[in-house]
Structure 1
């Protein structure tokens, strides 16, 4: 019997940062997973660390700030990932890689 449950490209559709799980859309299968685990080596971008913010003050005490909105610190909704299925079981997937854009 042919096993077609090889690692799959996917797109994060929902994240739970508290328990390190995500829902992932798998285009080849045309399905969305339930919440599956995210490998510990993959950083998760939450709203507090999503952007780099630089704050400076001049000699008069005026504060100037700028945010680099393009620099994410980890995966977020719409991130591209690779999902691996434990023992080929599509109901037991794990996000094992993050494809940075």
Structure 2
């Protein structure tokens, strides 16, 4: 086997069976085989949290979250940029 390959043995997250994972330096998994040994680490897929709670000063879980509220707040944020003082005065 290529010396650049990485090999790790551990417990499969769902079946709890011992497996051996081999992957290349670029992160691609080459093989999943039955494993041997005493390691007790868990091998599982990576988890990604796609939940979006908000950003840029907006809390998407708070009320009221109407189109007009979002539009007004967006304009207010833009109005703090140089050259938008008149617009900012109208919103306040």
**TM-score above 0.5, yes or no:** no
TM-score w.r.t. the length of structure 1 is 0.25
Which of the pair is proportionally richer in helix? 2
Higher strand share: 1
- Which has more radius of gyration? 2
Higher relative contact order (CA 8 A, sep 6+): 1
TM-score, normalised to structure 2's length?
A: 0.27
